Structure 1
Amino acid sequence: MAENYRADTVFARLGDENGAPHYDLVEPAEFPEHILRYRNQRWAARVGLASLSDDAWIRHFGRFEPLPDNLTQPLAIRYHGHQFRTYNPDIGDGRGFLYAQLRDDQDRLLDLGTKGSGQTPYSRFGDGRLTLKGGVREILATEMLEALGVYTSKSFSLIETGEALQRQDEPSPTRSSVLVRLSHSHVRFGVFQRLAFEKNENAIAALIDYCIENYFPALSTPGDSNVIGFYTSVIQHTARLVAQWMAAGFVHGVLNTDNMNVTGESFDYGPWRFAPTADPGFTAAYFDQTGLYSFGRQAEAGAWNLAQLGGALAQQADVDALNKTLQLFSGFYETAMADAYFERLGLKRTGADDFKFVVDFLKWMTETGAPYEQVFFDWFCGAASVDRADHSAVAELYQQEKFASLKSRLLQYTPINPERLESRYFQNAGPCTMLIDEVEAIWAPIAEKDDWSAFERKLEAIAGMRDAYQFNASRYA
């Protein structure tokens, strides 16, 4: 291990003092094959694991031999959750587990967790496996979102495992894999919901203290768990996450309470999609027939989930105070929307009117059906991109009268670091995108002839976009 590798297994100790463990010890599956398909060297370097050989990588992230001084056995975390607004007490880590905890170069506590690592007590009727396509899709989602400034979990490793899986939503039999994620907290809203369901007040108090100590240390006050302060922070971080999804044109697809965590980090990518246009009704999941988690309703979903978290905290704080705190979401969200969209446009915020500009900008995009990513590519850094926008493939949209007043306002904002436009990325005719047809086109040659070249080219293109925009989502604690 590199010198900056620092194990810190604090979650394993949580619950010992009140007899309420938050996990079950489990065994990883034994796979017939281990073919390394992806390793995230950028983030491996930040947690002291970049120097591992491929053989050692497979031992740790395919066979799950313990990392030095880390968890000696994986932990399947217990939680409940509302799934499409229906409470389900029969869930938990069903095909994944917490494998290790460690500190990064910002001293943040990060978790290495899995997807597709085998059955657990919460697998129900599932096989505990992940399809290779599902793993590829998660890598594409996390890499793209990180490049666009969204605070997201990182796809850390993908290993093909040599099993044939049966799935209803993929041509079967299909190939299998095991994914490892690097995440800023595995504490989902549903962890609190389980403890509230079981009426374990001591365990809830201990979990709040754990979250404050490890994720919100500024709230630490001797002798005071600061429940309202904790809830306020989670609300603010959740508002920021949803705003970042919106600015990225991203639809998560399954915003159940067990798919949101206390740090406001995006994770668990199933039926995700990027919206081709600013269509509020655009959905990602074929089974979301009512559009509950559509593009335009993601803020509503975040607020609803926060209300359920508040209900779980009601044993620890005054209900009226919790309800009053929840009302802060709309203000936090307006601020976060302005921050996220101005960052995507490369412009400096000026004040309260910024949110109104974002609303009008989105209204224009919705009414015209302008290609989402193209618009942000064309107008990055505002006035510094007028000539680029004039030569865009959709330049006629910018010549229409309905854009005139919006353009005038856009050009009044000061560009931030316009030298970013000198990047090779902005010499392209159009942006790097990740629409569903592209995802399928990347997967097809892998499925048909084990050709990973399109996948590798897309990751190179995303890296070029990330380097050009220089959004630093990792700054968020």
Structure 2
Amino acid sequence: MAFLPQQAILELGDAFYDPVHAARFPKQILRFRNDRAAASLGLDGLSDTEWLAYFAGFEPLAGSLEQPLALRYHGHQFRVYNPEIGDGRGFLFAQMTDSAGRLMDLGTKGSGQTPYSRFGDGRLTLKGGVREILATEMLEALGVNTSRSFSLVETGEELHRGDEPSPTRSAVLVRLSHGHIRIGTFQRLAHLGETEAMAKLAAYVLRHYYDEEPGEDAPARLLSHVVARTARLAAQYMAAGFVHGVLNSDNINVTGESFDYGPWRFTPTWAPRFTAAYFDHAGLYAYARQPEAIYWDAAQLATSLSLIAEENALVTALDGFPEAYHRESATAILWRLGVVPRDPEQDRALAQSVEQVLAATDTPTDRFYFDSFGGKLPERYGEPFAALREQLTAYAPRKPRQHPYWSDSEPCSMLIDEVEAIWAQIAEKDDWSALDAKVAAIRRMGEALV
């Protein structure tokens, strides 16, 4: 397809962002380019030289934004409100329309300091970039609505970090997202009492991300959409066995797209208290608490929108979250089981049985879904799985197990030991073959699942 540039964000005006300049890096070493994602934008034909000029040098893409923009937002961080955040080491670089007709953003991480950097250096460790590639590739393959790692360029600086061996190598990441408007973007306007700006932002989101025109009921409609999308995201996290780690309100996109991967993990088993962030001492964002956390963030959007909307309509919209979550949870689990949905009540019962038996038996999550894909649970899964096996007999397979992936001896997983092993080869030997091989294996699994 042809590249279709956009400048939609400029409709909001300069009260929503600050023009910034990208850092200049001593080196530009291309480590990852996502040509599959680039093809959806008409950018897959770029040479490596052109790629580096745009996604490390940040020359403007013709017809898109003339200058990068650091977006303004606030947010609750571990339930504590923080009005001193915003794009501190990234910016919105470009907007365009993708092959599905959606407005898309190319945003950065590690591209230099902005007015919101505070005491940070605005940089990204190379390890952080590698980890984001692995997270987004795995989540995309597992059917989770996620941003996509678009480009990773090593930048030649030595960074010092207090929570990992230093000095360490640096990088700049470009991610492809369906918008960068966060719940925290609305919270900032509510905090400042900016009524007109709030209405403008609600109209922007409805128009560009939900294909609806605003009206008197715009805030409640917007909240209903966000509730539905974020409930789906929570359900997809649980079915994928994924723990985001930092589900603060500034990390929740109003399109329901997962993004910004710091201390993420995949759970080896269905472990409710499993956490990803070493600093999450209270387990606020533990695996099984993620739906609660995302609901809490959606409630902060409702609170913010009360600046311009009647409270009862917002409460009604927010109250839709639990039912939406249970419905989406069944959909996500049945998708991983590889079976065709039948009846909402039966589907929900099946999904609950899966969660209960996985939790009770400490069964490896990825192994279970690998073995049961298509609805046939092997006999070696003994008595604890008998009732679930009976439930599955009523379900037809979504697709046959014909892809070569299903003949593998082990499922494709992404546990922390493998993440660290992939990074060790890069850190110690500058050997990128393990990362390349893992991305290929993940995409192969994705082909088998869809």
Query: Alpha-carbon deviations, 1:362-385, whole Å to 9, x = none?
Result: 1110111000100000000113xx
2:361–2:384 Cα contact (<8 Å) kept: no
Tell me the equivalent position of 1:290: 282
1:205–1:225 Cα contact (<8 Å) kept: no
Tell me the equivalent position of 2:314: 322
How far off is 1:346 after superposition?
0.9
Tell me the equivalent position of 2:395: 413
Matches within 5 A, 1:29-44: 29-44=23-38
Q: Secondary structure at the match of 1:7?
A: strand
2:177 paired with 1:183: yes
User: Identity over the aligned pairs, expressed in percent?
Assistant: 55
Query: Alpha-carbon deviations, 1:62-121, whole Å to 9, x = none?
Result: 010000111111000000000000000000000000000000011100000000000000
Tell me the equivalent position of 2:252: 260
Q: Secondary structure at the match of 1:110?
A: strand
One-letter identity of the residue aligned with 1:240: R
Q: Secondary structure at the match of 2:120?
A: coil
2:89–2:111 Cα contact (<8 Å) kept: yes
2:97 paired with 1:103: yes
- Mean CA deviation greater in 315-324 or 125-134: 315-324
Matches within 5 A, 1:69-84: 69-84=63-78
Distance in 1, Cα, partners of 2:430 & 2:308: 54
For 2:437, which of 457, 466, 471 is the aligned residue?
A: 457
Matches within 5 A, 1:66-465: 66-217=60-211, 219-220=212-213, 223-224=215-216, 226-351=218-343, 352-383=345-376, 386=377, 389-390=378-379, 395=380, 398-399=381-382, 401-418=383-400, 421-465=401-445
Structure 2: runs of 5 or more not aligned:
none
Structure 1: runs of 5 or more not aligned:
471-477
How far off is 1:283 after superposition?
0.3
How far off is 1:325 after superposition?
1.5
- Mean CA deviation greater in 150-159 or 351-360: 351-360
Tell me the equivalent position of 1:47: 41
One-letter identity of the residue aligned with 1:469: L
Q: 1:225 to 1:35 in 2, by over 3 A?
A: farther
How far off is 1:225 after superposition?
5.6
Q: Secondary structure at the match of 1:100?
A: strand
1:209–1:225 Cα contact (<8 Å) kept: no
1:7–1:101 Cα contact (<8 Å) kept: yes
Tell me the equivalent position of 2:5: 7
One-letter identity of the residue aligned with 1:333: Y
2:246–2:277 Cα contact (<8 Å) kept: yes
Cα RMSD over matched residues?
Answer: 1.0
One-letter identity of the residue aligned with 1:85: R
Distance in 2, Cα, partners of 1:456 & 1:30: 27
2:338–2:374 Cα contact (<8 Å) kept: yes
One-letter identity of the residue aligned with 1:279: A
- Mean CA deviation greater in 86-95 or 165-174: 165-174
Q: Secondary structure at the match of 2:6?
A: coil
Q: 1:225 to 1:209 in 2, by over 3 A?
A: farther
Q: Secondary structure at the match of 2:81?
A: strand
Distance in 1, Cα, partners of 2:308 & 2:348: 35
Query: Alpha-carbon deviations, 1:278-320, whole Å to 9, x = none?
Result: 0000000000010000000000001100111101000111112
How many residue pairs were aligned? 449
How far off is 1:321 after superposition?
1.8
Distance in 2, Cα, partners of 1:263 & 1:145: 16
How far off is 1:224 after superposition?
3.7
Distance in 1, Cα, partners of 2:412 & 2:339: 20
Distance in 1, Cα, partners of 2:335 & 2:151: 29
Q: Given the two structures, how large is their TM-score scaled by the length of structure 2?
A: 0.98
1:4–1:105 Cα contact (<8 Å) kept: no
Distance in 1, Cα, partners of 2:145 & 2:443: 16
